[in-house]
Structure 1
């Protein structure tokens, strides 16, 4: 199912301060500076609706979502030899259900969203958060429903802090708008009930697709139809104040936001590049192009 359709028509979708010091991602050429480029055209960004990007912990694989024929699936491209290979659908995504929004947790598990039923009695056609764990030789365990963060509503687009706290979007009741951003703490190995991030981030319209910096000092997200937006949906950010509250959110600006729909924010594990989705493709730009107060919170490896 196309994510844009899910978000707009159905209204049901969407490194700590010490990044990976031993990570060396083989980025393709040409590489962007202050102008966003399409990421891996013909491999990740093709003729389909391709969105979001997430690197594996070792930087040799990149996972993304692809929508075709009304179903979304998760694909992966591997860096082998001296180039990124044509993508393949991951094994757990082969089936009649839609899967999307892959991202790695600090413990190495791969989280994603799926509209598969949570059990044999589940008849709700909504998206929940699931995860798989590596099982050796590129294989994965069977998907597990992360029940503590899910509800009878839709949950989607996951992001993790370095300590394992989980940020997500949901259209569950009680929010400030149709979809809001929430956070669930990892305590004693289990997730707590998600808490709404509040009105500094969540507006009366619709917020989704959160990316949190590893130390939880900033969050980047998509907001729909705000007064200062450049297009249908723009990327915004909020930083955490000294009193541990979120500052009023601000637009990321015209170096990133377009007249179309901008979503799926993600910063590479080495802190060098900012990824987002726009115009049916995955885009990337140097993190140096981000606003100053946000840029200074990102630690880059050399």
Structure 2
């Protein structure tokens, strides 16, 4: 208990904040209401996920490489106003993280919210700045990785806090950042002479605009045929890049492994290539420089001697500035945020290159960041990422270099928007030598073959339409239902509102029910909404729903008159005890929402039993049960002074006690409105 008191005081005393890059930048963090976050393990850089992206109750929490899957997106909902405890809700299933058992290394799973203490978590700062532990309210255990590894599918379990890196997490805020005031791009056009049913990637133009290098994978004409390994191809243009002829395979540079041109150097006379070439072998490691067509020993690409170079990832990409003084690298090292990050290395006077240094947490995300490319003026970095918020799979981003004397000060990466990025794969943007044209690879689905496209740069973007954002709104889904009197089940004429939660798009809808049937309907984009129904003479009712497919949701209104009485039929207690069973919480949550929505209302909770057993004990049991209901409602944000309790035992039966079929109707909890 003392440890929890200390943690509570920590949370009260901290100055809270979130850095613009999405990473927590201060000693603590209070998650933004409605925002979605990746929860990133400090020890591995992997994301808290649900096994197999399951939407089923009981599915296990695991770590997985971060790629913005909906099962990796979480939001933090306070269990009551001002509480330090949150339910941590999955965007994919709308269920919340639940510690399955109180013992050490018990699994953490997703389950529907019931209000259990084992579903409530405190965010307690610990370790390096910006990291925290997720402490469970039920037993003070923390969420931890079962092993100190980077493997996908490592379970997430509950452990006694010991300040280990495997018990520490960082929050990465997911928010689509599009700057409509920045120069954009013109119409996107495919390069039909280059695109095949295979995979075309990594377009790299020469400064004079006459040649375009590219990589092809899964192509029968490659050295290894139709495999994942890539070969280097080149196309030529006779009209300054307006049109391109069929590509031919570059001889002498392709091997049985993955090959590609990273940059064009020396005004087109030299190439930067991925990998290390030996006379009789090739290693897909590091980067090399070659002058095409050179003879003798100069014909073999020369590897760049980069100090302390290593990458645990086999998928590395590079870019070198035209002056050959700066090398940008997409590699995975011990200090990466998650998967591949972007690094910088400098040419040194002794002919070697400096040890790679990270471009920092503004640029790098917990996902896979790759394909760096600097604009010809050296001010804008283009790169691709699975980690920064986008439209689907990999998207292309841009960031401005803020300090010309260093390479670790950048503006927040902005998504290039829907004219470039889509729901599939978009990556490898490169810019022509004159800065007027851009090339990139795009696929309509994340796992579909990519084609090459061309567009013009520096286009003034249209201002956004009112009440829209850059994130595309998906097809509408029909929500229907009825508003009914909860006491009589009769239709109620009411106003119904649907207000979208979260910060991805703004969307609100208002309608009125049919006077005769109580029917309402909305056509809504998929997402989470708060529904409210109001009608004169009734208490306001609300509910939170996730619209993923056509659905029906009825709203029940409680008559607002003083003296109005209503039974809570689904409240279930342990036999002979006052402990609430899980099936009770849906009804109690609905009552709590009604009371929160109607702050002037006060109620009296009335407990009743049958006539079996000692009458005095029955009175005591009925009182303890409604007091337990009161405690739960208070934990959900209802002021304690608005709820009175009384236990009647078996003194007020509403049915005969002669038979069990009717006797069970007397075991009930009711509430009466005492003030409106």
Q: Same-fold call, TM > 0.5? A: yes
The answer as to 2:305 corresponding to 1:135 is no
Following superposition of structure 1 onto structure 2, how do residues 68-83 of structure 1 map, counting pairs within 5 Å? Answer: 68=218, 69-70=226-227, 71-79=229-237
Q: 196, 212, 224: which one pairs with 1:62?
A: 212
Residue of structure 2 in register with 1:151 after alignment: 310
Shift, 1:141, TM fit? 1.6
The answer as to 2:377 corresponding to 1:218 is no
Separation in structure 2 between the aligned mates of residue 174 and residue 275 of structure 1, nearest angstrom = 31
Change (3 A) 1:173 1:106: farther
Residue of structure 2 in register with 1:241 after alignment: 402
Change (3 A) 1:181 1:290: farther
Change (3 A) 1:35 1:192: same
Q: 50, 63, 87: which one pairs with 2:247?
A: 87
Any idea what the Cα deviations from partners look like across 1:64-100, whole Å, max 9, x if unmatched? 1011211200011234699744322112233322202
Residue of structure 2 in register with 1:28 after alignment: none
Residue of structure 2 in register with 1:229 after alignment: 390
Following superposition of structure 1 onto structure 2, how do residues 67-216 of structure 1 map, counting pairs within 5 Å? Answer: 67-68=217-218, 69-70=226-227, 71-79=229-237, 84-106=244-266, 108-114=269-275, 126-135=284-293, 141-148=299-306, 150-153=309-312, 154=314, 156-164=316-324, 165-188=326-349, 189-216=351-378
Shift, 1:281, TM fit? 0.7
Shift, 1:241, TM fit? 2.0
TM-score by length of 1: 0.73
> Which one scores higher on RCO, CA 8 angstroms, separation ≥ 6?
1
Separation in structure 1 between the aligned mates of residue 238 and residue 357 of structure 2, nearest angstrom = 41
Whether the 8 Å contact between 1:118 and 1:145 is mirrored in structure 2 is no
The answer as to 2:186 corresponding to 1:34 is yes
Any idea what the Cα deviations from partners look like across 1:234-274, whole Å, max 9, x if unmatched? 11111122585211211111111111111101011111111
Structure 1 residue runs without a partner (length 5+) = 1-7, 12-32, 293-302
Structure 2 residue runs without a partner (length 5+) = 1-66, 68-150, 152-184, 219-225, 444-449, 463-676
Any idea what the Cα deviations from partners look like across 1:84-138, whole Å, max 9, x if unmatched? 4432211223332220244212463201213x6769899xx7443122113359x
Whether the 8 Å contact between 2:380 and 2:400 is mirrored in structure 1 is yes
Change (3 A) 1:290 1:51: farther
Following superposition of structure 1 onto structure 2, how do residues 13-32 of structure 1 map, counting pairs within 5 Å? Answer: none
Residue of structure 2 in register with 1:45 after alignment: 195
Shift, 1:57, TM fit? 3.8
Residue of structure 1 in register with 2:630 after alignment: none
Shift, 1:291, TM fit? 7.2
Change (3 A) 1:276 1:217: same
Separation in structure 2 between the aligned mates of residue 119 and residue 173 of structure 1, nearest angstrom = 31
SS for the counterpart of 1:148 is coil
Residue of structure 2 in register with 1:269 after alignment: 433
SS for the counterpart of 2:370 is strand
Change (3 A) 1:284 1:81: closer
Structure with bigger helix share is 2
Q: 412, 415, 419: which one pairs with 1:255?
A: 419
Separation in structure 2 between the aligned mates of residue 110 and residue 155 of structure 1, nearest angstrom = 19
Shift, 1:46, TM fit? 1.6
SS for the counterpart of 2:328 is strand
Whether the 8 Å contact between 2:205 and 2:212 is mirrored in structure 1 is yes
Change (3 A) 1:290 1:232: farther
Separation in structure 2 between the aligned mates of residue 242 and residue 80 of structure 1, nearest angstrom = 38
What root-mean-square deviation, in Å, do the aligned CA atoms of Structure 1 and Structure 2 show?
Answer: 3.1
The answer as to 2:452 corresponding to 1:288 is no
Separation in structure 1 between the aligned mates of residue 190 and residue 217 of structure 2, nearest angstrom = 17
Whether the 8 Å contact between 1:79 and 1:85 is mirrored in structure 2 is yes
Whether the 8 Å contact between 1:255 and 1:289 is mirrored in structure 2 is no
TM-score by length of 2: 0.35
Separation in structure 2 between the aligned mates of residue 36 and residue 225 of structure 1, nearest angstrom = 24
Separation in structure 1 between the aligned mates of residue 244 and residue 420 of structure 2, nearest angstrom = 25
Greater Rg by CA:
2
Change (3 A) 1:271 1:57: closer
Residue of structure 2 in register with 1:4 after alignment: none
Shift, 1:162, TM fit? 3.8
| Count of residue correspondences | 254
